[in-house]
Structure 1
Amino acid sequence: MCLGSWAGWRSTTVQGRGEERERETLTCERETLISCLSHAPKWRPARKPGVCSDQESDWRFCGLSNVLTWLPASVLFVGIIYAGSRALSRLAIPVFLTLHNAAEVIICGHQKCFRKEKMSPARICSALFLLAAAGCLPFNDAQFDPDGYFWAVIHLFCMGAYKILQKSQKPNALSDIDQQYLNYIFSVVLLAFASHPTGDLLSVLDFPFLYFYRFHGSCCASGFLGFFLMFSTAKLKSLMAPGQCAAWIFFAKVITAGLSILLFDVTLTSATMGCLLLGGLGEALLVFSERKGA
């Protein structure tokens, strides 16, 4: 979801770490709330054959069981959006995308070591390229920021664990829309309660951009764009084969990275470009392996 909120984060520059932390919390809460309200009418517990009984009591019990089973993934989702937002406030978008794609290494390692699944040579080479690109990037980044990379690592670990839990869910337990709805609801609740222990709630009046209409406008736009990105991705997954959907997502990432270089101040050296291209090659191999497997 953070990928859908870059425009809001890059539109206003925050001075000082205290101000930056407050902006991140406000933006996360606003985006999740807007996205949740946007597609609340579309959510309903799905009655799937073979999953829930036709009786109302069994249906309610099954729905509650599915929701409780999904809660660990919702916790990881909060970590994804929060850590991703912190990382994006300090790292260039092409750098963040390269680190974000390294989550595939965690998924590949889990499938190989724990589930003993067979993998194609292209899939293995893809994971190695992604790992090499993410590992070499901090040593060749001219705009290296330790805090940014710290939050990016947390983001990619949460992303990898989230996808593992998502794939381990029972078939037809919750649809993609249901999962995202629960994620947004849980994010609103958790971020709202976490604002007091972190001190953000008490310092909200000192936030310098609180009364700037551009800040609120960018947050609202970010929330709506994040929802439409999620909804369109879910539609793509339901209408297209996995390989075709992965190709479109890869194409969108390339366009986003290219536009960010033109719109934002990004310093790219030859070594940095090499790492970014290596990461792009790794994801291209991943798309190739999924299309071939399909």
Structure 2
Amino acid sequence: MAVLRFKAARATMKNTATLLVTCPDRKGIVASIADFLYRHDANILHADQHQDAENNLFLMRVEFDLEGAKVTLDNFPGHFSSIADQFSMNWELKGSQRRARMAIMVSQYDHCLVDLLHRHQSGELDCDIPLIISNHRDTEHLARFYGIPFFHIEVSRDNKAEAEARQFALFDEHQVDLIVLARYMQILSPDFVKRYPHRIINIHHSFLPAFIGARPYHRAFERGVKLIGATSHYVTEVLDEGPIIEQDITRISHRDQVEDLIQKGRDLERVVLSRAVRWHIENRILLYANKTVIFD
């Protein structure tokens, strides 16, 4: 019955578009965009903006209704190009009718994967998950339970290039838009990262740059930390230094043992990763200067 209700909800999905704009800051940008949409009978549903004075940069997100509008996803560029040129805009338009296609990569820890799959099934993550890839078989039963194709691809120092080539082929075959590393414990090659710029989201603990390497929670416990956290970010060629999407923390006391730190860290990791994924597929993120702006 839940599946039937979920399908019905999808059938009544709104036909909207989201415009994301980045350009040098100057007067008249908001007025020009609003006037353009008004003249084309497009009703604005949500609008948010941000000015970065240091970089003289203007960023904006506008969601508008396509029902009854004189612009469509296809003809929008031709109509909007004069305004974009006038303000030297970098912009993109995303339609709500096309659901993002998300691949999940995971190793042995399953807490982030379980959270993503549950939120997807409940409708909180409005996307399609056409495949799960893992270098271990520990999570295969979860993929089977949720009815998602599972691909086991072993990765070693000797076969890394071959393994990634198989992964690329699967991403192409399934027309993947976003790749989520749900505790995938492998370092991606520079070629991998270059193929999917700003389309790979990772999660890790927030001890970095302290406690680098194995057993970070054990080392943090030995140091007597009072806060632990988790960070989600876009993957770049510089390891764990891509634009940060979301972070969260929780307090630690002298009563907490290593096992408590690990459990609290996992709780943070799954929530922080799911937030980042949701904001990405809802087109709420704009990137600049190795930073992100997250619009409400």
Which of the five TM-score ranges fits, normalised by the shorter chain?
under 0.3
Q: Quick check: which one's helix share is greater?
A: 1
TM-score (norm 2): 0.22
TM-score (norm 1): 0.22
Q: Quick check: which one's strand share is greater?
A: 2
The structure having more radius of gyration, on CA atoms, is 2
